[in-house]
Structure 1
């Protein structure tokens, strides 16, 4: 399965699509506030990416790039798949997309997702983050 992962536009249509997730997800995974602040700031480069099935946004994540010492690190700030579509590989596809930048990736496992991240090749650190290193 290979779905097209799209950079999501920062607009009111995306805000409406994000609201479908708010009824299902945990508050710690909510990206609604992030999107709203980007709408207000009129961000040019959206940090949000998603998978659509038809016109429905079914999976999403936010990616941020940080400079650390002499390298760039990608942070998967939040990632979520609508419950009906979970366990179908959509989360794995989002992670593979982030890995395609061939830069170290860090994230904080949320909502009992430690096992998922381990399966994606992430390792624990001394902090709350798990990290993936390109080969």
Structure 2
């Protein structure tokens, strides 16, 4: 893999054509075509898309978004972190280290990372050093996030909120006394 590197993808029509290849061969849930089209319309010069080219072909890609510590409910102490979305490697290029290269690139920022595996890829994320976050119904809204924490960072464990189910259980226990 000499000479292969992760690079920020430009928000342009060439990248749009490259993304169409992923739509044809990849998992529909991981499609970034609409995301890129929105970025082109908004003319956002700071692309959140990163990829790896093999020759002239885009073979692996991901989205990386920065989140402010004021929205951090995952890490202790609260801090800025990255959200890694839609990591995908084309089928013919899987098991060759491209996914790991993308994750290592994200880790090189040395800030915590959160991801929401869309397909059954838990083993991959665990192999990359991510842990399943402690589930919090209000925070996670049905997602099962995985997190990676650099040295000195811990998961922010949040106690479950006092839901109506918990209140009902308390009332039943009080009546039983």
Tell me by how many angstroms 1:110 deviates: 2.0
> Comparing both structures, which one devotes a greater share of its residues to strand?
1
Query: Hey, what's the Cα distance between the residues in 1 that align with 2:130 and 2:69?
Result: 18
Question: TM-score scaled by structure 2?
Answer: 0.74
Aligned to 2:118: 110
User: How well do the aligned residues superpose, as a CA RMSD in angstroms?
Assistant: 1.1
Q: Deviations over 1:59-93 (max 9, x none)?
A: 00000000134411101011100000001110001
Aligned to 1:67: 68
Aligned to 2:86: 78
Query: Hey, what's the Cα distance between the residues in 1 that align with 2:87 and 2:43?
Result: 22
Secondary structure in structure 1 of the residue aligned to 2:39: helix
Secondary structure in structure 1 of the residue aligned to 2:59: strand
Secondary structure in structure 2 of the residue aligned to 1:23: helix
Aligned to 1:17: 18
What are the ranges of 5 or more consecutive residues in structure 2 without an aligned counterpart? 71-77, 152-177
Aligned to 2:145: 129
- Which of these two proteins has the greater Rg computed from alpha carbons? 2
Matched, 1:95 2:111: no
> Comparing both structures, which one devotes a greater share of its residues to helix?
2
Question: TM-score scaled by structure 1?
Answer: 0.96
Secondary structure in structure 1 of the residue aligned to 2:150: coil
Tell me by how many angstroms 1:132 deviates: 0.1
What are the ranges of 5 or more consecutive residues in structure 1 without an aligned counterpart? none
Structure 1, 67-76 or 78-87: larger mean CA deviation? 67-76
Alignment coverage as a number of residue pairs: 135
Aligned to 1:40: 41
